[in-house]
Structure 1
Amino acid sequence: MKAWVFSRIGLVLMVVLLAGCAPDEDDVDMHEPVNGDEAVEAIEDATDAPEPQLDDGVLAGLTADQREFAFSLLKQLGIEHDNVFVSPYSIAAALAMVYAGADGDTREQMAGTLHFPLEDGDLHAAFHRLDRELAARAEVELEEEGDSFRLDVVNQTWGHETFEFRQDYLDLLARYYGAGMRQVDFQTAFEAVREEINDWVADQTEQRIEDLLPPQSLNADTRFVLVNAIYFLGSWKHAFDKEGTQDRSFTRLDGSEVDVPMMRQTARFGHHADEHTLAVSLPYVGDEVELVAMMPADASADFNSWAGGLDGERFDQVLEAMERQEVALYFPRFESESAFELADFLGEMGMVDAFDECAADFRGITGVEPCIPDRSIYIDEIFHKSFVGIDEAGTEAAAATAVAMVRVTAMPPEPVEVRFDRPFYYFIHDLPTGAILFAGRMLDPAG
């Protein structure tokens, strides 16, 4: 049987109309905002623009900074949640679209929280280049009948039909993020729009992410919704045999034990072990995307203390030290779902003003100063929902067997045994770019 892993995730960022106090309207700088049909024309024109060029080092800088963001976010979410699974890439990409219209302190706080140190032109060009790199993964040649590999990334926005947007902002979304804008009536039909967005997300994620926006998440004051959705489906390069899966004990953080289906196989995997960390990498077909799993080397070590030392630099060090060798691997079969409202978490990480009615400065989107009724906007909430399933299911395929006999030179070494039967972190990692597409913490596969 072929084994496969699939992960689906959707993210919605909502920017909602401000209805608060206003400064003197003489201070307003319109910067040629657009609305309605003009917004659509701006998007069509931008998609015809020449392809932006980017140095490879700039892309490497973006993905390195985004690895730091991934670990910062995991730690923040882990304060209140046990099992965690998110797409740092999806969150960063959606917020990069908003960051393009931020100014002043709002902009600085977003840059610090999201690890956006690049200059504007390079930042958005780097996300564009990364999107194109990831799109190329779908061109992988499958090795055997029954293998699967998909990686889809899409952006879309919904804007209120009479709200004014800056044309250069819409141009940027279209050029670098491929994000069109659907004109809708939030004021009188916000519930219908919510259902439309939920249906779109479900379609993009093969129905794995449903009801992303809960009831009353939109209202008559909503003016702009930005969505990033990412869908992944990959077959293992080395399949697990379903017959080898048995219920085995998994030890939780509190020392209690629970039986979970534990898959097993011996194959050549990436492996690293030092005094602090034990790690294994499992390639998907195509050898360009892999699952990386890490846990403390010492089963008696304090998991939270060990996790506190994980960051982008440590992640890179472990990957660089990986060596391919025979590993007798035990890995739990599980499904995990997460749903987060991220505003408070990102606020704790330093992104504060973006969620404040009169402090949020998104003049790059609207063309007006903060805190102007009916004209200024701020972020109301960020919804993030994800699903991951790891198992051995797939298709049964015919095979041919060839026996090649060679002379004996030395007895092969015994495989290293690695059991992920206690809490661990796991990542779906794009090898060519270094991007962490998904990141998770598993404390209880039965939870």
Structure 2
Amino acid sequence: MNSWVEKQTNDKIHNLIDSNLLDEDTRAVLINALYFKANWSSPFLLTESGNMSFYKTATNIAQVNALQHFEVYFNYYECPHLKAEFLELPFKGNEASMMIVLPKERDGLAALENQIENVFAPMHTLKPEYLNVFLPKFRIETSLNFKNILKKLGVKKIFGEGEADLSGIAGEKGDLIVDEVAQKTFIDVSEEGVEAAAATLILIRIPDSAIDGTPKNFIADHPFIFYIKVKDTIIFAGRYICFVETSLCICVFVFVCVEMKCLTVFLLSVYLALAENAAVQEFTKANNLFTPAVYKQISQTQKGNFLVSPLSAETVLAFLQSGCKDETAQELRTALHLPDDKETVESAIKSLLPKLKGSDLYTLHTANKMYVKKDFPIKEEFKKAAAQVYYADTDTIDFTQNVPAANIINTWVEKHTNDKIHNLIDSNSLDEDTRAILINALYFKANWSSPFPLFASGNISFYKTATDIVQVDGLRQYEVYFNYYECPHLKAEFLELPFKGNEASMMIVLPKERDGLAALENQIENVFAPMHTLKTEYLNVVLPKFKIETLINFKKILKNLGVNKIFDEKKADLSGVAGEKGDLIVNEVAQKTFIDVSEDGVEAAAATYVHVAVPISAKLGTPKIFNADHPFIFYIKVKDTIIFAGRVTDPKH
């Protein structure tokens, strides 16, 4: 019997039946086993956990492990009659939730329990509230003698030898009595969610109201009541006074994550006689103008899927312009939409790059590198700018040993792109004329704020054209809230998928027509314009999983954007790098990119992540359907800076 119980409760309830209770007089044992496990709709972040003070009484204080949520929306009600606060914590799926009932006074639990009927009454007037939440992690195991409880509730005859009538089971009246009624329970509340011995796996999500002023603080730092409901049925109820020793229930989470890396490289070759915060805002503005210009050039020549990192290209091109003079420098700055003077550009870069770092919520890593031919005299001013402005390390290398040199450079690239960009440098491109290589590597990884569940994955139909249909792996979310905008002018839908922390997001721009990508790309400047009128919308979302690797020849793009002098042996002026005008030219500008959008990613990330709560409207009617089943544009922004942009025409390719 105990083995059956353990199996049915996922090994959480042990030794329910004491062998001493069973003897020759035992005729039957009836058992109900109930097991519940669910993940929070909005998980408590491990990075925000820590200790908190818990007041067992007004004077008896213990330090316990804490769960914390900042600037979030949950259903909440403050009941003046009960002198208590009600907080509803939803589980994923909208059918189950956990209610925390917290006395307003630290020693108010007894008074609250004296009105327990009102605590469990049909739902109080809960409404979405903007909150900071502090709860203890807790684990409770309880053995209850239900025989005594039932007797106090007036159930006595089933225990009385002369009165019990269980003749519906066997025999006649008086042949059977109930000897014991016992219950054993278990619950574990942690960052991931709740696991309890007895319960149905259900999930929840609720709409949020608009941000209004400072969030309320919900700090459960003293005894409280809790209960868990499924479809308005309370399946667990209890109270928490204090249990200092806690155990973390290990749950496997499947998050959709997006992972991408990018790298840009310059080969500077000799050819015979060869070759603060306002500034950051200007650079961000330049980035938003440079992106559509580059996208348009690539879309006209590149067939199928592609990915480009305007930020990576702009960073290394800005690095280069610090070594250019006069018209050569001005051409670059004009094409990049950068300020007209080198000092302003360098001020912007110097301020921006340290901000492109990671925290606990997402990874954004950028690195610059300069490889210089041995004994080649780089000017001190350029070396200084490389180190102090672009945070670039400088190493000397023997380019005449082209294979070892390429291996050294490619190893650095692999290290700084988490081993996702390989063989950027072809050894055949290095020779005795190569003088320097400037490289920017950019790596980004983040988890969705609202993960795509693995169980909702599966094949979807993707329309490469109106008539060419392929089956691809899909991602789905139903009845969710995301920022959304339908643009009648562009005949397109915009869907913003936020990453954890709300500083980074991915925008999907989907033509309304299945063959509408070309028309949309003809207005690409408007696609990348500062944010359209996005508003929170109730949606069903269907997207393809996709992976893209792209090699881009930036030399052609730059020429089409009016950058010619740096490639011309007679006009190039890179005298800020070394030598005189005409001594150096740029031989190659190339970028290699990678992106993988899939369910992978419980991996902890590092990056600066500030949570910005977005007002969410009430759930009304049927959700809109956002079905990315045909070619679309996407881009990724961090703090209003576009770091990646691309298009998907065939997710299988």
Normalised to the residue count of structure 1, the TM-score between the two structures is 0.82
Residues 116, 123 of structure 1: 8 Å contact kept: yes
Aligned partner letter, 1:71:
P
Whether 2:647 is the aligned partner of 1:445: answer no
Aligned partner letter, 2:329:
R
Whether 2:433 is the aligned partner of 1:221: answer yes
Give the distance between the partners of 1:189 and 1:294, measured in 2 at CA: 46
Give the distance between the partners of 2:307 and 2:510, measured in 1 at CA: 16
Going from structure 1 to structure 2, the CA distance change for 1:411 and 1:307 (only over 3 Å counts) comes to closer
Going from structure 1 to structure 2, the CA distance change for 1:21 and 1:231 (only over 3 Å counts) comes to closer
Alignment-derived partner of residue 359 in structure 2: 139
Indicate the SS of the match to 1:381. Answer: strand
Alignment-derived partner of residue 382 in structure 1: 589
Going from structure 1 to structure 2, the CA distance change for 1:442 and 1:117 (only over 3 Å counts) comes to same
Alpha-carbon shift at residue 260 of structure 1 (Å): 1.0
Residues 253, 303 of structure 1: 8 Å contact kept: no
61-70 or 116-125: which moved more?
Answer: 116-125
Whether 2:411 is the aligned partner of 1:191: answer no
Whether 2:388 is the aligned partner of 1:175: answer yes
Indicate the SS of the match to 1:364. Answer: coil
Alignment-derived partner of residue 168 in structure 2: none
Alpha-carbon shift at residue 383 of structure 1 (Å): 2.0
1:318-363 Cα shifts (integer Å, max 9, x gaps): x241112222111110111001222122212211111122221111
Aligned partner letter, 1:350:
G
Alignment-derived partner of residue 130 in structure 1: 352
Alignment-derived partner of residue 204 in structure 1: 416
Give the distance between the partners of 2:437 and 2:274, measured in 1 at CA: 23
Indicate the SS of the match to 2:524. Answer: coil
Residues 555, 588 of structure 2: 8 Å contact kept: yes
Give the distance between the partners of 2:311 and 2:288, measured in 1 at CA: 9
Structure 1 gap ranges (5+): 23-53, 143-148, 371-375, 398-409
Whether 2:317 is the aligned partner of 1:103: answer no
Alignment-derived partner of residue 422 in structure 1: 630
Name which of 262, 267, 270 aligns with 1:17.
Answer: 270
Give the distance between the partners of 1:84 and 1:414, measured in 2 at CA: 35
Structure 2 gap ranges (5+): 1-253, 605-617
User: Which runs of structure 2 are paired with 1:8-407 in the superposition (5 Å)?
Assistant: 8-20=261-273, 54-55=276-277, 57-81=278-302, 82-135=304-357, 138-140=358-360, 142=361, 149-186=362-399, 188-253=400-465, 255-266=467-478, 267-275=480-488, 276=490, 277-296=492-511, 298-299=512-513, 302-311=516-525, 314-317=527-530, 319-370=531-582, 376-395=583-602
Give the distance between the partners of 2:462 and 2:532, measured in 1 at CA: 29
Give the distance between the partners of 1:326 and 1:127, measured in 2 at CA: 39
Alpha-carbon shift at residue 295 of structure 1 (Å): 2.2
Give the distance between the partners of 1:422 and 1:97, measured in 2 at CA: 38
Alignment-derived partner of residue 6 in structure 1: 259
Aligned partner letter, 1:217:
S
Alignment-derived partner of residue 205 in structure 2: none
- Give the structure with the larger helix fraction: 1
Alpha-carbon shift at residue 283 of structure 1 (Å): 0.8
1:26-72 Cα shifts (integer Å, max 9, x gaps): xxxxxxxxxxxxxxxxxxxxxxxxxxxx13x3212211111111111
Alpha-carbon shift at residue 314 of structure 1 (Å): 4.6
Indicate the SS of the match to 2:421. Answer: coil
Residues 296, 524 of structure 2: 8 Å contact kept: no
Give the distance between the partners of 1:411 and 1:256, measured in 2 at CA: 36
Give the distance between the partners of 1:157 and 1:174, measured in 2 at CA: 10
Give the distance between the partners of 1:170 and 1:393, measured in 2 at CA: 40
Indicate the SS of the match to 1:200. Answer: helix
Aligned partner letter, 1:281:
E
Indicate the SS of the match to 1:139. Answer: coil
Give the distance between the partners of 2:443 and 2:335, measured in 1 at CA: 25
Give the distance between the partners of 2:515 and 2:545, measured in 1 at CA: 24
Indicate the SS of the match to 2:571. Answer: coil
239-248 or 220-229: which moved more?
Answer: 239-248
Give the distance between the partners of 1:263 and 1:161, measured in 2 at CA: 51
Residues 372, 435 of structure 2: 8 Å contact kept: yes
416-425 or 349-358: which moved more?
Answer: 349-358
1:206-229 Cα shifts (integer Å, max 9, x gaps): 110010112301111100001100
Alignment-derived partner of residue 105 in structure 2: none
Normalised to the residue count of structure 2, the TM-score between the two structures is 0.56
Give the distance between the partners of 2:257 and 2:343, measured in 1 at CA: 38
1:77-134 Cα shifts (integer Å, max 9, x gaps): 1112121101110011011111111123322221222222342111111112121111
Going from structure 1 to structure 2, the CA distance change for 1:299 and 1:19 (only over 3 Å counts) comes to same
Aligned partner letter, 2:427:
P
Give the distance between the partners of 2:411 and 2:585, measured in 1 at CA: 25
1:244-271 Cα shifts (integer Å, max 9, x gaps): 1121111114641111112110322110
Residues 2, 396 of structure 1: 8 Å contact kept: no
Going from structure 1 to structure 2, the CA distance change for 1:191 and 1:326 (only over 3 Å counts) comes to same
Going from structure 1 to structure 2, the CA distance change for 1:367 and 1:203 (only over 3 Å counts) comes to same
Alignment-derived partner of residue 126 in structure 2: none
Indicate the SS of the match to 2:301. Answer: coil
Residues 402, 427 of structure 2: 8 Å contact kept: no
Give the distance between the partners of 2:528 and 2:264, measured in 1 at CA: 25
Select the structure with the greater relative contact order (CA < 8 A; seq sep ≥ 6).
1
Give the distance between the partners of 2:261 and 2:384, measured in 1 at CA: 29
Indicate the SS of the match to 1:365. Answer: coil
Alpha-carbon shift at residue 18 of structure 1 (Å): 2.3
Give the share of equivalent positions with the same residue, in percent.
Answer: 25
Give the distance between the partners of 2:623 and 2:256, measured in 1 at CA: 21
Give the distance between the partners of 1:303 and 1:200, measured in 2 at CA: 37
Residues 74, 84 of structure 1: 8 Å contact kept: no
Give the distance between the partners of 2:517 and 2:280, measured in 1 at CA: 33
Residues 191, 219 of structure 1: 8 Å contact kept: no
